[in-house]
Amino acid sequence: MPALLNPRWERFSQLVASGLANNLLGFTQADAYKAAGYKANGHSAEVCASRMLKYVEPVVQRIQELHRENGKRRKTTVESIVDRLDLASRIAEEDRLPAALTQAETSKAKILGLQVDRQEVGKPGDFNASQTTDELAQAMLAQAGASTITSDMKAMALAELERHSRVLASIAAGEPSSDLAMPSTSKRQSSQLSA
């Protein structure tokens, strides 16, 4: 069936079919009616949309056709998942459900690659087999995911390990380090740390 000749009927049909296909919670037939360009006051949009879906046969047929087409084309994509998580986030925010809001936003961040779950690879003591700093740098680069390790990479890792060692020594001695911008602590915190 080609697009309906009445542009408002066609737009209404597309909006209703889209809402059905995407399971848009909160998107009503009245919303589709208004978005199609019809003017309505109060609850008249619900009444008019309902009448159109009951009595205007070309609209009903067009919605059925669009719904079938959407079902054939619909595939799960990153975009569709993020859209659903956005919807879940909005609902959680409106219902003041902070745990659900956090879960939706966290899931969205993972899917978009903004949050990466990291796990420690290896067992406690795996670095004990490393005898030299060179071996330690090589083991750390491999653990970080480097498939090939060049001499430049090892040199940079060794420099970072040495800097890290100096900073830890400064912290242990209670001295400021030129390698680290020491956070300022209040006198109360300082006295608690020294106690």
Going residue by residue through the chain, which has 195 residues, state the pLDDT in tens, using 9 for 90 and above.
788 899 999 999 988 888 766 666 567 888 889 989 999 888 899 999 999 999 999 999 998 888 788 766 656 677 888 888 899 999 989 999 999 989 989 888 888 878 766 666 666 666 566 567 778 788 888 888 888 888 888 888 888 888 888 888 888 888 876 665 545 444 444 444 554
Assigned token pair, 151:
């001499």
Burial class for 63, CB neighbours closer than 10 Å (0-12, 13-18, 19+)? buried
Asked whether the beta carbons of 47 and 19 are under 8 A apart, the reply is no
Task: Quote the crossing angle between the two packed helices 78-94 and 98-111, to the nearest 10°.
Answer: 160
Instruction: Say whether 136 sits in a helix, a strand or coil.
Output: helix
Q: What's the pLDDT score for residue 186?
A: 45
Q: What's the pLDDT score for residue 187?
A: 46
Place of tokens 């990153």: 78
Q: What's the pLDDT score for residue 71?
A: 66
What element of type H or E holds 90?
A: helix 78-94
Q: What's the pLDDT score for residue 135?
A: 80
Query: CA torsion angle for 139, 140, 146, 147 (degrees, to 10)?
Result: 10
Query: CA torsion angle for 60, 61, 67, 68 (degrees, to 10)?
Result: 160
Assigned token pair, 19:
């809402």
Distance CA(160)–CA(41), nearest Å, equals 68
Residue type, 66: L
pTM above 0.75, yes or no: no
- Domain residue spans of the chain: 7-73, 78-111, 130-179
Q: DSSP code of 118?
A: -
Q: What's the pLDDT score for residue 189?
A: 47
Conformational region of residue 118, where left means phi above 0, alpha means psi within -120 to 50, and beta covers everything else: beta
